[in-house]
Structure 1
Amino acid sequence: MNDRRKSLETQAELLDRGWHLARTPLEIDVTEVEYALMRSYEAFGHWQAECLATVIEFSASGPENALLHIIRMNDRPKSVRDLAQMTNRDDIPNIQYSLRKLLKGGLITRTGSGRAGVTYEVTSLGHRVTERYADIRSVLLIEAVTRIPEMAGKLEDVARTLELMTGIYEQAARAAATHRRRHPQPEPGGEQNGDGTS
């Protein structure tokens, strides 16, 4: 523990980690988590795309690949509303675009109608692709996790922490939307400076 503290003190002396989003030690720590989340999200997307590409010649983004597996989850049909709720997304048009892409690729099928409700489930091809994906994931990703000492034991804590942060971000987003101030409108034909003056 002392070695870690010394290392952090050395970093603090050598590196300037403060900026407009990181003015206090707590803000610095939160910002470091945010950057880690951004990089992890992108790395996760790269992994999903490359893993899927080893299974089938089908170009899909990370979120599209995630939708495919969530549709397969528990082998039960899911509506757009289910998918949005399960992924914490509200960009329904983008979800629908991804679903059309998966449909065109023959990986999912659509049943139902507007009134009764439309649901999606994987096709036999989608089932084979997701099974093969799971096999490759086990060999490449899960094996890598098992090689890192004590990593498996930390994953549950990581998941709980991320869920807590998700709730905090959601609550903060609601508060920001509730208390958003009205910005002054620019004068016709005039430019505004950053402080709102012409």
Structure 2
Amino acid sequence: MTKRRQQGRETREWIETALPDHLKPVSPIGPIVSSAHLAEGGSPGLSEVEYGLILASHAFHRWMVRCMAAAGVPGLSPMEIMVLHTIRHRDRGKKLSEICLVLDIEDTHVATYAIRKLEAAGLVTTGKQGKEKTIRITARGAEACARYAQIRERLLVASTAKARPSEETLSEIAAVLRFLSGAYEQSARAATTL
């Protein structure tokens, strides 16, 4: 039994014995999920994580769009913003295949469309390296990313400094998310064989 489940059990036992009947909960709430029928299986905790991922991904997408708009570049989708930051990463030209690999984009046309839109906005430029197309950040694109970073520091990083988990815990959470990403990818491949 995990430590968390043990603590939960001890808390429930304390409630059952210490509180008067009129203050006792009618039934335990159970896991916080969006699909109770999935939480009835062998891992209700995984269902809780999935619901958390749903909420976090939507909130993160809204944040990216609004932060980039505040940085002076409205009208970009979350995918376009992620592609822009990936191209900006380490100030090196990127190949389409590298962008797709880093962002785990399965359909290259999604990244190609984003790159075309970013190029039309003057945020990136394309060229050739041998037979492959390369994409580089422009000065305007780098400025947009810098303004985005400044706004992120002020509105997100500074405002959550005292409330968010430690940097070590955040790194551990990121490692768990990367692990889950691999598990979902493997399961998706297996599902295509059914």
User: Is 1:135 the counterpart of 2:144 in the alignment?
Assistant: no
Q: Residues 146-179 of structure 1, C-alpha deviation per residue, up to 9 Å, x if partnerless?
A: 121643331011011001101111111111112x
Specify the alignment match of 1:67 in structure 2: 83
Q: 1:41 aligns with which of 57, 73, 76?
A: 57
CA RMSD across the alignment: 2.6
TM-score (norm 2): 0.81
Is there any run of 5+ residues in structure 1 with no aligned partner, and where?
A: 181-198
TM-score (norm 1): 0.80
CA distance in 2, matches of 1:117, 1:11: 64
Percent identical pairs in the alignment equals 30
Specify the alignment match of 2:29 in structure 1: 15
> Quick check: 1:49–1:62 contact (8 Å CA) kept in 2?
yes
CA distance in 2, matches of 1:121, 1:30: 39
> Quick check: 2:126–2:135 contact (8 Å CA) kept in 1?
yes
Specify the alignment match of 1:96 in structure 2: 112
Q: What pairs up with 1:1-198 in 2 under 5 angstroms?
A: 4-5=8-9, 6=11, 13-15=27-29, 19-24=36-41, 26-112=42-128, 116-148=131-163, 150-178=165-193, 180=194
> Quick check: 2:65–2:74 contact (8 Å CA) kept in 1?
no
Change (3 A) 1:110 1:7: farther
* CA drift at 1:11: 8.2
**Off by >4 Å, runs of 4+ in structure 1:** 1-5, 7-12
> Quick check: 2:64–2:81 contact (8 Å CA) kept in 1?
yes
Size of the aligned set, in residue pairs, is 177
- The one-letter amino acid of 1:155's match is L
> Quick check: 2:92–2:136 contact (8 Å CA) kept in 1?
yes
Is there any run of 5+ residues in structure 2 with no aligned partner, and where?
A: 16-23
- The one-letter amino acid of 2:29's match is L
